[in-house]
Structure 1
Amino acid sequence: MNLYEAIFVRKSVRKYSMDKIDQNVIDHIMNFADSIPMLFDDIKIKLELVQLADLKHFQSGILTVKAPYYLVLYSTKESGYLINAGNIMEQIVLYITARGLGTCYIANLNLKDKVVEEKEYEQVIAIAFGEGENEVYRQSDKAKRLPVKSIAVFKEEADKNIRAIVSAVRLAPSGMNGQPWRLVVYNNRIHLFSKKSGIIKSIVKETRLIDMGICLAHLLIAAEEMWLEGKAVTLSNISSQNFKKNDYVISVKLS
């Protein structure tokens, strides 16, 4: 199973066996994570693998789950760092899924005993993962997602490759399943927008930018599967405009 195929079967897993994973598998996961390029060159990240056994202050609740392993992403706060974090972590999630393991995004992981030394880094996103107690896969038609017509506007008659890309974007996970992405689709480019929230809180805006990074990961993975080169760019002629219902986030040029 490759990353593209994992998009269509991955689900959030909230119950785990506490058995340890073979160290070779852990090494492969971390090596893959280290190989993922940043969206923007000036962003630096750190990934920390944490085992439940090493956490003295773990607190379970509705926003987190008990799992044998956690992967925490820290980032410097450069422009685009939240989108970058979502993009990187979703690729890791899909890689773990392809290895037959379960994953679940969690709101935050209280690491009182483990703090990244460099003060310029902040914890952005974390996942729980491990052997699931039950099935870790599902059929794509069981995912509760908005229909394509609700998230995408096609400005041209799209070919099968473009429609396949949009279908992959549609299945991206998001905080509280908010699905904030809105797409304006051409055959050689796709513009990504985030639906504006009625709640004006910085935490909501930050979460949505992470969600947009997750969505972008699906788009770029699907483009590669269709033998298309996808390049993420910010277009000033769009970013300078004010839109009533959506905020412009980024564009992907396809060739």
Structure 2
Amino acid sequence: MTVYEAIYNRKSVRRFKIEPLAPKLLNHIERFEKELLRLHPEIGFQFVILDTFDSDMTVRGMFHVKAPYYLVLMVEDKPYAMQEAGYLAEQVVLYMTTKGIGTCYQGNAKADGLEVPAGMKPAMIIAFGMPDGSPYRPESKAKRLELNEICSFKEAVSDDVNTLLRAARMAPSALNTQPWRMVAYGNRIHIFSRKKYGLGYNADLQKFDIGIMLSHIAVAAEELWMQVSLKEMDTVSLKSFSLKNNEYVTTVCLS
């Protein structure tokens, strides 16, 4: 399974076998972290693996999942930090999926005793390990809004653009809120986020979720050998796209 294929087959795992992973697998994960695609390379980041077999640190929080390992992502406290965090974290999650490792995002979780470097903040904790069951499910079983519910088309788009949109649709999100809305127009995809939060969901998590979705677009573009870039366009108007209760985030430009 490739990282791209994992987009369509991964599921959140909430039951893990409490047993160690092979050291080789952990080494592969750490090496992959050095090869990640970046949205905002000026933002520093650090991954820390918490091993519950050897560490006294505990993870707690709403919807906490017991797992043998937790991956903590810390980012520099700068603009776009949470978007970058989601972009980075999802690539690692997809990679672990290709290795048969189960994963589950732990939104709002805390790691007691974690040492946070100056100028950085914890962005996300991911439970991972060998699943008690399968870490996969068919695309048809994913609970996602239909593409026409999250994307408007100003004109017909190419098959390649449809592939990127389909990958974006499959992105996981906190409480399955799927906060993104898109407008596809020629070789551009305008990205918007919904201005609505709920219990256990806040603006930081929404930015993180948008980063996850953008990583799906980037992984799909790489699969298609397409170049993508992000650009904030002053000419984009919510009124022109009839998107109430949303805010403009960025535009994906394809070439």
- TM-score, normalising length: structure 2: 0.92
**C-alpha contact 2:103 2:129 (8 A) present in aligned 1:** yes
**C-alpha contact 2:60 2:109 (8 A) present in aligned 1:** no
The answer for the alignment partner of 1:175 in structure 2 is: 174
The answer for the alignment partner of 1:105 in structure 2 is: 105
Q: Choose which of 214, 217, 220 in structure 1 pairs with 2:215.
A: 217
Please give the secondary structure, in 2, of the residue aligned with 1:70. strand
The answer for the alignment partner of 1:133 in structure 2 is: 132
| Match runs of 1:30-45 below 5 Å | 30-45=30-45
The structural deviation recorded for 1:191 is 1.1
Aligned pairs, number: 253
Q: 1:59 to 1:83 in 2, by over 3 A?
A: closer
Please give the secondary structure, in 2, of the residue aligned with 1:82. helix
The answer for the alignment partner of 1:124 in structure 2 is: 123
Q: 1:127 to 1:186 in 2, by over 3 A?
A: same
Further displaced range: 29-38 or 230-239: 230-239
The answer for the alignment partner of 2:142 in structure 1 is: 143
Q: Structure 1: which 5+ runs fail to align?
A: none
1:21-72 deviation line (CA, Å, top 9, x unaligned): 1111111111111221431232111111111124435366652211111111
The answer for the alignment partner of 2:236 in structure 1 is: 238
Q: Distance in 2 between matches of 1:21 and 1:239?
A: 49
The structural deviation recorded for 1:241 is 8.6
Q: Structure 2: which 5+ runs fail to align?
A: none
* Letter matched to residue 139 of structure 1: P
Q: Please, what is the CA RMSD of the aligned residues? A: 2.2
Q: Distance in 1 between matches of 2:237 and 2:115?
A: 36
| Match runs of 1:1-255 below 5 Å | 1-56=1-56, 58=58, 62-116=62-116, 118-197=117-196, 204-238=202-236, 244-255=244-255
**C-alpha contact 1:49 1:70 (8 A) present in aligned 2:** yes
Q: Identity, % of aligned pairs?
A: 37
**C-alpha contact 2:104 2:128 (8 A) present in aligned 1:** yes
Q: 1:76 to 1:59 in 2, by over 3 A?
A: closer
Q: Distance in 2 between matches of 1:203 and 1:10?
A: 22
* Letter matched to residue 162 of structure 2: R
1:101-129 deviation line (CA, Å, top 9, x unaligned): 1100002443222212x221110111111
Further displaced range: 237-246 or 95-104: 237-246
Q: Distance in 2 between matches of 1:214 and 1:98?
A: 17
The structural deviation recorded for 1:164 is 1.4
**C-alpha contact 1:55 1:113 (8 A) present in aligned 2:** no
